[in-house]
Structure 1
Amino acid sequence: MKQWFAKGLGDGIMAAMPAAEIEEFFLPLFRDAGMPADMAVFTRHESEGRLHCEVVAYFSPAAAEAARAVGAEPCEMPVRSGLGLLAGDERAWEALFAE
C-alpha cells in the first residue's frame, strides 16, 4: 500500500480557509499530472471525543507533492465513511476505495 497523508485544518468554522488554500494549490498540480483518478484530497470532520470537531484533509498517495507542500504527515489510508471529496475527480472514489 502506498503512503497517505493527513493534515488537521482546525475546527469546522476555521477549516474553510485552509481547505480553500489546499484546493487552490492542488488544482494546478492535478491538471499538470493529467488529472489522474487516483490523485485526490478528501476531508472529514473528526471529533475523537473532543467537544469540537476538527476537519482533517487526507491526501491520496498520488497527491504526495501537495501533501508535503502543506505540511501533511504520513498516515494510514482513511476509511471511506464520512469522507468528502475536496479536490480531484469523482473517479477517485472508485480508484481509491474500490471494494
Structure 2
Amino acid sequence: MDQWFTANLGDAMLAGEDLERVCALFERRHGRNATTAVLMRHENQGRLHCELVLYFPPELADLAAAVGAHVCGQPGLPGLGVAIGSPQRLSELTDA
C-alpha cells in the first residue's frame, strides 16, 4: 500500500499542542528508535499565516487514522522536514 495521509494542524503559531499530541502518539506506538517518521511542512496557500501540515507515510496509516488525517499523494520534497521519527525516512524520499 503506497497511500500517504495528511493532517493540517492550522496556523503554525498555534499548532504546538496538536503537534505534541501527534508526537506523543507516535512515541507510544512506534518508540524512539522507529525507522519511520511523521513529516511536516509549513505551507502558505495565500493566507496571512502559514499552516503546519503533517504527512504520514503508508506504514503510519494507524497513526494517521488516530489523528483524523486524510488520504493524499506522496508529498513533494521542497520544504519537507521531520516532525518526529527517523531522518532516514526523509532521505529515502530524496533517494527515490
Tell me the TM-score normalised to structure 2 length: 0.89
Quote the residue 1:61 is aligned against. 58
Higher helix share: 2
Q: Does 2:75 align with 1:78?
A: yes
**What value does the CA root-mean-square deviation take over the aligned residues?**
1.8
CA distance in 1, matches of 2:55, 2:93: 12
Name the SS of the counterpart of 2:64 in structure 1: helix
Maintained 8 Å contact 1:40/1:62 = no
**Offset of residue 96 of structure 1:** 3.1
| Counterpart contact for 2:56–2:64, Cα < 8 Å | yes
Secondary structure at the aligned position of 1:67 is classed as helix
Match of 2:6 in 1: 6
Number of positions where the alignment pairs a residue of Structure 1 with one of Structure 2: 96
The runs of at least 4 consecutive aligned structure 1 residues that moved more than 4 Å come to none
Give % identity: 39
In structure 2, give the amino acid aligned to 1:10: G
Which residue of structure 1 aligns with residue 34 of structure 2? 35
- How far does residue 63 in structure 1 lie from its aligned partner after superposition? 0.8
SS at match of 1:97: helix
Q: 2:52 is paired with a residue of what secondary structure?
A: strand
* Partners of 1:93 and 1:58 in 2: CA distance: 11
Which residue, 89, 92, 96 being the options, matches 1:95? 92
Which residue of 1 is the match for residue 16 of structure 2? Answer: 16
